Amino acid sequence: MSAAVSSEPYKLSAGALALLVHGAFFLLLYVSFSWQMKPPQGMVVDIWESLPAEFDVQAPVTAPAPIEKPEPAKPPRVEAAPALPPRADIDLKDKKKKLKAESTAEQRLAEKKAEQAERRMEEVERQAQARSQARQKEQAEAAAAAGRVVDEYIAKIAAKVRRFIVLPPGVSPQIRAEFNVTLLPGGEVLNASLAKSSGNEAYDAAVERAILKAQPLPLPPAEKNMFNRFRDLRLKFSPAESGQ
Amino acid sequence: MDATQNLSLMPLISGASLPVQLVMGLLLMVSLLSWWFIFLKMFAIRQAKSQSDVFEEAFWGHPDLARLYKDFLDEREAAGSLERIFAAGYSEFVKLKKKSDMDNAAVMDGARRAMRATYQREMDDLESHLSFLATVGSVSPYVGLLGTVWGIMNAFRGLSNVGQATLAHVAPGIAEALIATAMGLFAAIPAVVAYNRYATDTSRLSSRFESFMEEFSNVLQRQP
């Protein structure tokens, strides 16, 4: 009773100290856990033997030069049209050579018209060509980009699987095993079957284990809608590539 | 479960199952309470010691009992345990002395009883909450362990649905479960240390009070 009264003034400070201890402890825990949050990120390096389709894509980029040509062709046609009426007027004034002039004028007119028509046709044709070229170029570019992504991810898949291959001893580096791999959209392997044996059963089995162990395999993000190109893959593995 | 899970503290706690979270909440509360009592007792025992020192010095310095008693009556609030024991004994002694029909032994017995009663009350106050610290120290590791076992059971139950079991599947569950044990230990270790420390302190204070009571009885007996 009496001692409780005497310790009354300490109640608040004791409570504050208790909270302080807990705050410090949780801060310590939180900070130390945060340090662990930085994951030990293993650096992944994919070695490319040949550069992907980048050069194929750059070639069409230089193509625009022929498309620009039709545009300078326009001015001559525009000049030719106004040139006609004054000549016709001159021909009409000269009465002696009226007939001849008329005929020549008609001839010239006809010629001019034919020429004009021809030019227009050419123009239209060129424009159509340019348009189709541009479209082709776009398509080619899109296809090349898609191809690049496919190549990139196939290389990533192969690289990831390669990381999991445990090479059995005494494997010749020249052999090559081919696998048909069926994937699910999440990157899981539905089925991995040996398409072409390397001739070394241990290596075939090691690769198959590695394919299963490497799940989920890297796939392009779902919004690219490219999974159909990854549904069935044919992957080739050779001990020479493993770099071990 | 995904191998790249966020293993920081907060998601681990919020992601734990309900029983584990309950255990964690209980342990947090117990730990807060026990730390509160630890500080409360620390201050109370320190105060009791210093007050006893001050009073003993005053008592042996100039043993004018009537003046000491008057000081106590003047500053009732600031009085320590030892001073209250002294006051109870002295006031009883004075009251009984006034009755002329009491013999000296009966007066001494009455003063002694009054001092003993006050002493019991003071010791009770000093020892209050110590049993709580002892309980926390011995029980909270088990409570934490219960939470951990529950969490690990859950983690392994989740594992049964996975064909290929890897460490990544169980690790988050075990990590979140182990937090319960960590909290239990965090509550228990200071409680045990504080209990041992304060138990020693109060027993020393108690022996000090008892010896003072004996000596004061002698002083009273010498009173005319």
The answer, for A216 touching chain B at a CB cutoff of 8 Å, is no
Residue B102 has pLDDT above 70, yes or no: yes
pLDDT at position A4, please?
44
> Does the residue B98 lie in any domain?
yes
**Contact predicate B24/B180, CB 8 Å:** yes
Q: Which of A1, A10, A30 sits opposite B43 (nearest CB)?
A: A10
Instruction: Give me the sheet containing A189-196, strands edge to edge.
Output: A189-196, A177-183, A232-237
The answer, for B87 touching chain A at a CB cutoff of 8 Å, is no
Distance from first CA to last CA of chain A, Å, rounded?
Answer: 79
Nearest-angstrom CA–CA distance, B71 and B61: 14
CB-based contact A36 B6, cutoff 8 Å: no
pLDDT at position B138, please?
94
Nearest-angstrom CA–CA distance, B214 and A53: 102
Residue in chain A nearest B7 by alpha carbon: A37
> Does the residue B3 lie in any domain?
no
Backbone phi, psi, residue A193, to 5°: -120, 145
| Residue percentage of chain A with pLDDT more than 70 | 66
- Which has more confidence, A81 or B142? B142
Rounded mean pLDDT of chain A?
A: 73
**Inter-chain Cβ pairs, chain A and chain B, closer than 8 A:** 72
* CB contact set of A177 (below 8 Å; sequence gap of 6+): A194, A196, A197, A198, A200, A203, A204, A207, A236, A237, A238
Q: Which of A2, A11, A21 sits opposite B40 (nearest CB)?
A: A11
> Does the residue B27 lie in any domain?
yes
Give A211's pLDDT tier (boundaries 50, 70, 90).
confident
Q: How far is B102 from chain A (nearest CA, A)?
A: 31
- Domain extent at residue B163: 9-222
* CB contact set of A140 (below 8 Å; sequence gap of 6+): A57, A60
pLDDT at position A175, please?
85
- Average of per-residue pLDDT across B155-167: 75
pLDDT at position A239, please?
83
Nearest-angstrom CA–CA distance, B108 and B220: 8
At B5-41, the pLDDT tens digits run 455 667 777 777 888 889 999 999 999 999 999 999 9
Interface test with A, best of B125, B127, B178, B189 (most A CBs within 10 A): B125
Q: Which of B4, B39, B121 sits opposite A1 (nearest CB)?
A: B121
Residue A68 has pLDDT above 50, yes or no: no
Q: How far is A33 from chain B (nearest CA, A)?
A: 5
CB-based contact B7 A33, cutoff 8 Å: yes
Interface test with B, best of A2, A5, A211 (most B CBs within 10 A): A2
Highest mean pLDDT among A32-46, B76-90, B199-213: B199-213
At B47-68, the pLDDT tens digits run 999 999 988 888 888 768 888 8
- Which run of H or E residues covers position B169? helix B167-222
At A23-42, the pLDDT tens digits run 998 888 778 766 555 555 56
Both structure tokens of B1? 């479960």
At A156-202, the pLDDT tens digits run 888 888 888 888 888 888 888 888 888 888 888 888 888 888 888 88
CB-based contact B40 A7, cutoff 8 Å: yes
Task: Indicate the SS3 state at residue A190.
Answer: strand
Lowest mean pLDDT among A57-71, A153-167, B201-215: A57-71
Helices B18-61 & B104-127 angle (0-180, nearest 10): 150
Lowest mean pLDDT among A33-37, A84-88, A137-141, B171-175: A84-88
Tell me the residues of chain A between 23 and 82 that have a Cβ less than 8 Å away from chain B.
25-26, 29-30, 33-34, 36-37, 39
Highest mean pLDDT among A37-41, A236-240, B213-217: B213-217
CB-based contact A37 B8, cutoff 8 Å: yes
Q: Is A36 exposed, middle or buried (0-12, 13-18, 19+ CB in 10 A)?
A: exposed
Which of chain B's residues have a Cβ under 8 Å away from the Cβ of A11? 40
CB-based contact B186 A13, cutoff 8 Å: no
CB-based contact B43 A13, cutoff 8 Å: yes
CB-based contact A1 B125, cutoff 8 Å: yes
Both structure tokens of A62? 């230089």
- Number of domains present in the structure of chain B: 1
> Does the residue B2 lie in any domain?
no
CB-based contact A10 B40, cutoff 8 Å: yes
pLDDT at position B119, please?
94
- Average of per-residue pLDDT across A84-99: 54
Nearest-angstrom CA–CA distance, A81 and B211: 133
Give A89's pLDDT tier (boundaries 50, 70, 90).
low
> Does the residue B1 lie in any domain?
no
Give the side-chain half-sphere CA count within 13 A for B158: 17
> Does the residue B137 lie in any domain?
yes
CB-based contact A30 B10, cutoff 8 Å: yes
At A118-144, the pLDDT tens digits run 888 888 888 888 888 888 888 888 888
Q: How far is B22 from chain A (nearest CA, A)?
A: 18
CB-based contact A37 B39, cutoff 8 Å: no
Q: Which of A4, A18, A34 sits opposite B125 (nearest CB)?
A: A4
A234 forms beta bridges with A180
Interface test with A, best of B10, B28, B34, B36 (most A CBs within 10 A): B36
Report DSSP state, residue A184: -
Task: Indicate the SS3 state at residue A173.
Answer: coil
> Does the residue B97 lie in any domain?
yes
pLDDT at position A35, please?
54
